Structure 1
Amino acid sequence: MSTRVRFAPSPTGLLHIGGLRTALYNFLFARHHGGSFILRIEDTDQERTVPGAVENIIEMLRWVGLEFDEGPHVGGPYGPYVQSQRLELYRQQAHLLVERGSAYYAFDTPEELERMREHQRRAGIAPKYDRFSMRNSFTLPPEEVRRLLSEGAPAVIRLLVPLDRQICFHDLIRGEISVHSRDIDDQVLLKSDGFPTYHLANVVDDHFMRITHVIRGEEWIPSTPKHILLYEAFGWEPPQFAHLPLLLNPDRSKLSKRHGDVAVEDFRRQGYFPEALLNFVALLGWNPTADRELFTLDELIASFELTKVNRAPAIVDRNKLDWLNAQYLRRLPLERLARELQPYLSQLGYPEFPQTYLMRAIALLRERVNRLPEIATFGDYLFIPPRSYDWDYFRKHWHEDLPQWLEELIRVLEQTEPFHAELLQQRIREFTESRGQPLRALVHPLRLILTGKSVGAGIFETMEVLGKSECIRRLREFLASQLPIFMEYLRTAV
């Protein structure tokens, strides 16, 4: 039987990093084994369903390069792939279990259930449904059960859990897991509104969609014994299970929005590359080799093995993500980076730039930043003239001859051709040495005048990117409007 796996999110919000890892590991496993990758939307909890969540899940997974073979947006032979469109199937299967004696009706009101739990708490017992004291098929006469059902009394269908039995299953990551049935509740399978619970819908869908491997988060381990019982009750062969380790913050607290962005959309907005984010997420609990950090999607597919996934929780370290993203920034083609940079510039109100100019700006700065949008902020002077100046820095490098030097330097720059970094450095060195000064006597003031900052890329390389006319224009503008401001600053500072 060919490998079939599914990513089965609930549409209760934006796709987050944990969901992305689950989807990715399912995708890698399917592709590695030449199988099928299926999207199923588990929306039986209608009250928590968020409009637009399904679209966000599909869009974000497509953005990182994960495409489904079957799903609500592409169809397939085992649809529909949305659980709210499969309700009749779940009802049929739930009633089939009742007929077989593997499930039963319960008519308890919410108030009665709460009294039961309170009684158990007072007795020091962990709250659990007591089938022998509540109103259900075990305690009510058969004719009373039939009457309540015929009158439409609110009723649920519960799983009949054996009283004294070890329930065992093999986890592909964690090995053998065994749970005693006394620790398992008589789980509700079908609610009084006719909607299934997660447990029933999950098992029914995995069977009818012919899922061979269930790869999901560690938090679902306690549910798996219930699912094993359901497979047995139906007489179905269960799939193989693999439960992925938890994701934690660097302080080892559970990953959550309280500690920063966790939605995939947030990372896209912040300028992380999809390749870098996918690479980062792939290594949260698994690494095909100890001597590499960067992998293409094809390399991840070729290397992926569930048995090599760690059991221990994985730390989501944003510093590592920044480092990975910076590696991609240094390697991706300049043409692509230029296309992707322009929207960030537009968001800041900067004008449109030719692609060739953006490519040169990116080449100049990409070794100094981690994310593409930082080029627009760290290197803003490449796109707009300086809006402010670090006068303290300028003061450290100020000398009385500087205004005259700048006037003379403009004439030197006008005659410099080609306007390349190497020739610029040579001409400016000749200029300062002819006046008995080292090169730095002019380099530092030039940096401030042209960029407004005390740090940045090499000043001669920066001048080459800005171009001759822009450099001269900024020098003249500084002498005309900013130098008087600095002189007043200098007077008051002294």
Structure 2
Amino acid sequence: MAKVRVRFAPSPTGPLHLGGVRTALFDYLFAKNQGGDFVLRIEDTDTARYVEGAEEYIEEALEWCGIIPDESPKKGGKFAPYRQSERRDIYDKYTEKILQTDYAYLAFDTPEELDAIRAEYEARGEVFSYDNKTRNRLKNSISLSEEEVQKLLDEKKPYVVRFKMPLDRTLNLEDIIRGKFSVNTNTLDDKVLVKNDGMPTYHFANIVDDHEMEITHVIRGEEWLPSLGLHTLLYEAMGWEAPQFAHLSLILKPEGKGKLSKRDGDKFGFPVFPLNFKDPETGNISQGYRENGYLPDAFINMVALLGWSPADDKEILSMDEMIKEFDLHKVHKAGARFSKEKAEWFNHQYIQMKSDEELLNILKSSDLHLNIADEKLLRIIHLMKERATFPKDIYENGKFFFEAPSSYDEKASKKAWNEETSGILKDLSTQLEAVDFHVETLKNTIHDFAENKGLGMGKVMMPLRLSLVGELKGPDVPDILEILGKEESIARISHAVNNFQ
């Protein structure tokens, strides 16, 4: 049996969409599960839509996700080049080959002529298709004599190469995910294989490349399912064995209807791209999961479960566990609805699984200005990470550790402060001045103070917390005091007393 080889073949026409990440991931998981190779190939034949920087973005995004190609334009490999724009001589060779068969022909129709024909059909309420019913009446090497064709070639008239769709054949097709189905060739048109600039279209180039690169399985989005008949016939025309195909369902909008788009992300407040992407023309920046604080392993875990169910319906899986369990036959036929809440849930789970030291490194590499010793920051992380969904939440929810409150929550102030409170906190400050700022010492000091004064703990703890935090929230007060230190803690208590007098 041939070694399993799969390819992810994006076009550099913009940032990598969530659906593209999932296709790449499923390619990667399947290849590694089967002990095979994962190939990254850049399909850049669509020069009109090429976006500068998109190829580099794709490579960086895959690397961030942990989807590392065995072969790629950057890495090279046995079947290089891996960029279609560099494979022109290969396509030219196979263009000549298919034109020697009865499966392809030259078409000299100009865009203006085809537009005029389409307009005629529309005027009659019909839809024009360049197919086995119309090609004999159009300007091509089927309808024209050899002499007429040669004359046009001699005159350097532009032409495209079209596939000659067979008449009235039933194609029995099979998809790993969707099973068996049939297509009648009379429903398919004569697709362009080679454009008038000599560059192949997706249909022809990817067939040639998949054959040349010995691809055994093609995993791609369901938008390519209608092309399966044509691609199967192209393999037949070239006399090659076709790979196995698996077409992935759509990733759906949060409400479940329609394909997830960037507009949905903008509307509901979540990214649809793995990394930030700056449009080179407009300068507009599209938000990415990385920059929004998602951990790569959490992001990939979330993406993997959009349309695939591992055994026992487990939800938290490492890349190695996903590789071990992945099975294309367990990929769902139905569309997978995206959920922002579920994506955040995954990130929260992975935050909890990270060690304090790992989160320290993440926070220190962020754009937050954390002017605090690592030892204290580790304590803060340990206290605050339980409720954090993103690393920045540790800072946002524990902001009082980094800066003193400039105001006090009004509702909390009414609850925590009365005419006796200022005197109580002044006396407590005197007690705190005399002790070491260690959690157990502070805990005992506050407890003894309240007991000696005949006060309930709430009358001491609530205003003390308000003084330190500005609100009635946060971890245990002795932990806050120890991290802030004696000087800062006393200063905050003093500031609160002056504020409420």
Are the equivalent residues in 1 in contact too, given 2:168–2:185 (CA < 8 A)?
A: yes
Using the TM superposition, name which of 195-204 and 373-382 deviates more: 373-382
Matched, 1:471 2:472: no
Report the Cα distance in structure 2 between the residues aligned to 1:70 and 1:431, rounded to whole angstroms: 69
State the secondary structure of the residue aligned to 1:177.
strand
Are the equivalent residues in 1 in contact too, given 2:437–2:481 (CA < 8 A)?
A: no
The one of 372, 375, 378 equivalent to 2:397 is 378
State the secondary structure of the residue aligned to 1:216.
strand
Instruction: Decide whether aligned partners of structure 1 residues 239 and 22 sit closer, same or farther in structure 2, where only a CA change above 3 A counts.
Output: same
Are the equivalent residues in 2 in contact too, given 1:419–1:467 (CA < 8 A)?
A: no
State the secondary structure of the residue aligned to 2:453.
coil
Paired letter, 2:384: L
Cα shift readout 1:231-270 (whole Å, capped 9, x = no counterpart): 0000000000001111012211320111112010111001
2:18 is matched with: 17
How many residue pairs get aligned? The number is 479
How far has the Cα of 1:418 moved from its partner? 5.1
Matched, 1:331 2:347: no
Report the Cα distance in structure 1 between the residues aligned to 2:354 and 2:425, rounded to whole angstroms: 39
Are the equivalent residues in 2 in contact too, given 1:341–1:372 (CA < 8 A)?
A: yes
Are the equivalent residues in 1 in contact too, given 2:61–2:274 (CA < 8 A)?
A: yes
Cα shift readout 1:362-421 (whole Å, capped 9, x = no counterpart): 11111112111111212111122223321332122211121122221112222333521x
1:143 is matched with: 147
How far has the Cα of 1:141 moved from its partner? 1.7
Are the equivalent residues in 1 in contact too, given 2:41–2:83 (CA < 8 A)?
A: yes
Paired letter, 2:26: Y
Note the aligned Cα RMSD (angstroms): 1.6
Please show how residues 327-476 of structure 1 align to structure 2 within 5 Å. Answer: 327-344=349-366, 347-348=367-368, 350-417=369-436, 419-420=438-439, 422-476=440-494
1:298 is matched with: 320
The one of 181, 186, 211 equivalent to 1:182 is 186
Gaps of 5+ in 2: 266-270, 276-287
Report the Cα distance in structure 2 between the residues aligned to 1:142 and 1:416, rounded to whole angstroms: 104
Please show how residues 118-197 of structure 1 align to structure 2 within 5 Å. Answer: 118-129=119-130, 130-197=134-201
Paired letter, 2:307: G
Paired letter, 1:36: D
Paired letter, 2:273: A
Report the Cα distance in structure 1 between the residues aligned to 2:32 and 2:422, rounded to whole angstroms: 67
Using the TM superposition, name which of 180-189 and 288-297 deviates more: 288-297
Report the Cα distance in structure 2 between the residues aligned to 1:454 and 1:127, rounded to whole angstroms: 70
Are the equivalent residues in 2 in contact too, given 1:429–1:438 (CA < 8 A)?
A: no
Are the equivalent residues in 2 in contact too, given 1:215–1:241 (CA < 8 A)?
A: yes
State the secondary structure of the residue aligned to 2:237.
helix
Gaps of 5+ in 1: 488-494
Instruction: Decide whether aligned partners of structure 1 residues 354 and 44 sit closer, same or farther in structure 2, where only a CA change above 3 A counts.
Output: same
1:320 is matched with: 342
Paired letter, 1:68: P
Cα shift readout 1:149-186 (whole Å, capped 9, x = no counterpart): 12211100000001101122211111012111111110
How far has the Cα of 1:430 moved from its partner? 2.6
How far has the Cα of 1:277 moved from its partner? 0.4
Report the Cα distance in structure 2 between the residues aligned to 1:99 and 1:163, rounded to whole angstroms: 19
Report the Cα distance in structure 2 between the residues aligned to 1:179 and 1:126, rounded to whole angstroms: 20
The one of 230, 235, 256 equivalent to 2:234 is 230
Cα shift readout 1:32-68 (whole Å, capped 9, x = no counterpart): 1111110000010012111111111111111121111
Cα shift readout 1:79-113 (whole Å, capped 9, x = no counterpart): 10000111122122122211212100111111211
Using the TM superposition, name which of 355-364 and 471-480 deviates more: 471-480
Report the Cα distance in structure 2 between the residues aligned to 1:276 and 1:425, rounded to whole angstroms: 38
State the secondary structure of the residue aligned to 2:71.
coil
State the secondary structure of the residue aligned to 1:264.
coil
Report the Cα distance in structure 2 between the residues aligned to 1:177 and 1:99, rounded to whole angstroms: 30
Report the Cα distance in structure 1 between the residues aligned to 2:325 and 2:237, rounded to whole angstroms: 37
Paired letter, 1:325: N
Report the Cα distance in structure 2 between the residues aligned to 1:278 and 1:263, rounded to whole angstroms: 12
Using the TM superposition, name which of 468-477 and 224-233 deviates more: 468-477
Using the TM superposition, name which of 150-159 and 375-384 deviates more: 375-384
Report the Cα distance in structure 2 between the residues aligned to 1:423 and 1:245, rounded to whole angstroms: 60
2:35 is matched with: 34
Paired letter, 2:51: V
Paired letter, 2:480: T
Using the TM superposition, name which of 275-284 and 441-450 deviates more: 441-450
Paired letter, 2:5: R
Using the TM superposition, name which of 35-44 and 454-463 deviates more: 454-463
How far has the Cα of 1:439 moved from its partner? 0.9
Are the equivalent residues in 1 in contact too, given 2:437–2:482 (CA < 8 A)?
A: no
State the secondary structure of the residue aligned to 1:54.
helix
How far has the Cα of 1:117 moved from its partner? 2.0
Paired letter, 1:413: L
Report the Cα distance in structure 2 between the residues aligned to 1:6 and 1:416, rounded to whole angstroms: 66
Report the Cα distance in structure 2 between the residues aligned to 1:53 and 1:301, rounded to whole angstroms: 28
